[in-house]
Amino acid sequence: MVVSLDWRDVAALVEAVRRAEAVKPSQQAKRDAFREYGVLGTEKDPPLTAIFYGIMLRLGILDKAIERLTGVKSPLLLDSRLRAVLRVFIYLELFARERVRLANRAEALKRVAAWLSSRGHPYMGMWFVDAIRDLPKDVAAPRTADEELMHKYLLPPWYVRRIVSLVGEGEAEPLLKSFLVRPKISVRVNILKATVSEVLRKLESEGKKPEISKVVPTVIKFDGPYNFDKSELFRSGKIVIQEEPAALASIVLNPRPSEVVVDLAAAPGGKTEHIGELMENKGVIYAFDIDRTRMKRLEELVKRAGISIVKTYLRDGREAPRILGEEVADRVLVDAPCTSDGTLAKNPDLRWRLFEEEVPKFAQLQYELIKSALKLVKPGGYVLYTTCTLLPEENEEVVRKILRKEEGRVVLVPLRGPYDEGFLPGTMRVWPHKHSTIGFFYALFQRVERR
């Protein structure tokens, strides 16, 4: 089936791609732009969403083409509007010609050119039209071995090599290809407001074919698209957008009613909200994060879900012991900032923001957050460390460092499934190609009680 695009469809795509640079996750940028252009929830939503994700998957390749087309060292040096327009049109011209056509190509080029010139250099639009009309067919073609890897897996070459060294060539192939499979939508039922059977019936009435997770019985998966803005289940707080391994994290932490729990990297709040459910909305949760926008989403989420025990701090989690005091918490969650490569299937544009030099920086931050958590937790209390990266430098190696530096003060509580054991006995890993979900890592510590 060939999708026909008018100029407004193109404008919606350009705006979504432009906003995706600043708004994370990129799905939110897409939803916002599609809502403004009247696309969200219409029959045009699914095909335009597919095009958007196609562009996000190939950003690195498209940007390489832009470098060759413009002669700039990096597309980031260009005006953001021109960069977005070139990404969209190069994708449509070189990667989607058999599936997508412009209803009136001349009108689309003219309107986009006028938009560029009115908001930037007056000749920008003219240059754009000439560049697209004379676009070399091989401008995006691979020219080196590294670029061959980029085209094959739609991933940075360093990351491909790292995965091969981690799991071997035989397993690397299905793992890397799993990042190209669009995942099902995953939601968790808010047990304070609804039952699983109630949510299943509602989704079925909306034409979905929901499946209950075999790992977390309150998680439901179904094929998209799904308009959360118009969903009564979502707007009433009966469901929360959350992946299966993320939902399991709060269960592993096992918070109890009336306890004191600290979440050191809480936003956008899925795990914080789930902890509140498991605590039956009794006790207190101190939620820390430095991202103002994501923290606002956390506050909106817990309010919608009916959780009233969360106290938020727009502060770095490493400051928590100084703010709250030491040995005050029964349990602490460290769902640490990380490379996030385990979520590549869900967040396709993320692959082009994976930088090898950032890995040690994340590992140091993760170590420091766990150190803060161990100060916060009472003797006998628990600290759960989780990430959504597959890289051992941010997982098992961080855990080993903690166990070595904190010997005698902390022990590792062995986790025995439901997923695979990590490279360090007692830790647990989720593999996208094996478990059909995002990649994830868990390590549960217990603070040793004083004698």
- Write the pLDDT tens digit of every residue in 361-388: 999 999 999 999 999 999 999 999 999 9
Give the strand pairing for 239-241 and 428-430.
unpaired
Torsion angle, alpha carbons of 345, 135, 128, 105, to 10: -80
Whether residue 388 lies in the annotated active site: yes
Reply yes or no on whether the pLDDT at 38 is more than 90.
Answer: yes
Residues 363-387 as b or e (16 or more Cβ within 10 Å = b): bebbbebbbbbbbbbbeebbbbbbb
Contacts of residue 327, defined as CB under 8 A and 6 or more positions apart, other chains included, come to 375, 376, 377, 378, 379
Q: What is the pLDDT of residues 396-435, one digit of tens each?
A: 999 999 999 999 999 999 999 999 999 999 999 999 999 9
CB 437 within 8 A of CB 243: yes
**In terms of C-beta density within 10 A (0-12 exposed, 13-18 middle, 19 or more buried), how is residue 212 classed?**
middle
What are the start-end ranges of the E strands in 223-354? 239-241, 260-263, 284-288, 310-313, 329-335
Reply yes or no on whether the pLDDT at 68 is more than 80.
Answer: yes
What is the rounded CA–CA span in Å between residue 266 and residue 262? 9
Question: What six digits make up the tokens of 11?
Answer: 């404008």
CB 125 within 8 A of CB 112: yes
CB 243 within 8 A of CB 276: no
Q: Which part of the chain has CATH 1.10.940.10?
A: 3-133
Q: Which part of the chain has CATH 3.40.50.150?
A: 244-447
Reply yes or no on whether the pLDDT at 444 is more than 70.
Answer: yes
What is the rounded CA–CA span in Å between residue 127 and residue 132? 9
Specify the amino acid at residue 135: L
Question: What six digits make up the tokens of 389?
Answer: 């990266």
Provide the edge-to-edge strand list for the sheet that holds 239-241.
Answer: 211-212, 219-222, 185-189, 239-241
Question: What six digits make up the tokens of 20?
Answer: 């995706």
302 pLDDT tier (thresholds 50, 70, 90): very high
Mean pLDDT value across residues 116-134: 90
Q: What is the mean pLDDT of the chain?
A: 95
Distance of alpha carbon 447 from its chain centroid, rounded?
Answer: 31
**Is the pTM higher than 0.85?**
yes
* Secondary structure (3-state) at 229: helix
- Percent of the chain surpassing pLDDT 70: 100
What is the rounded CA–CA span in Å between residue 324 and residue 179? 40
Closest CA to 445 of 409, 405, 418: 409
How far is residue 72 from each of residues 112, 304, 331, 357, measured CA to CA in Å?
21, 47, 51, 23
**Which is catalytic among the residues 388, 399, 412, 438?**
388
Question: What six digits make up the tokens of 56?
Answer: 């996000």
Reply yes or no on whether the pLDDT at 89 is more than 80.
Answer: yes
| CATH T-level topology, domain 244-447 | Rossmann fold (3.40.50)
What is the rounded CA–CA span in Å between residue 49 and residue 236? 25
Residue 315 has what DSSP assignment? S
Give the pLDDT of residue 451: 62
Cα–Cα–Cα angle for 210, 214, 219, rounded to 5 degrees: 50
CATH H-level superfamily of 3-133: NusB-like (1.10.940.10)
Q: What is the pLDDT of residues 218-254, one digit of tens each?
A: 999 999 888 898 899 999 999 999 999 999 999 999 9
Backbone angles phi, psi at 70, to 5 degrees: -100, -25
* Secondary structure (3-state) at 97: coil
Give the pLDDT of residue 119: 83
Give the pLDDT of residue 79: 92
What is the rounded CA–CA span in Å between residue 87 and residue 212? 38
Q: How many helices (H) and strands (E) does the chain have?
A: 19, 15
Give the pLDDT of residue 120: 79
182 pLDDT tier (thresholds 50, 70, 90): confident
Give the pLDDT of residue 258: 98
Torsion angle, alpha carbons of 221, 224, 225, 227, to 10: -10
DSSP H or E stretch at residue 133: helix 124-133
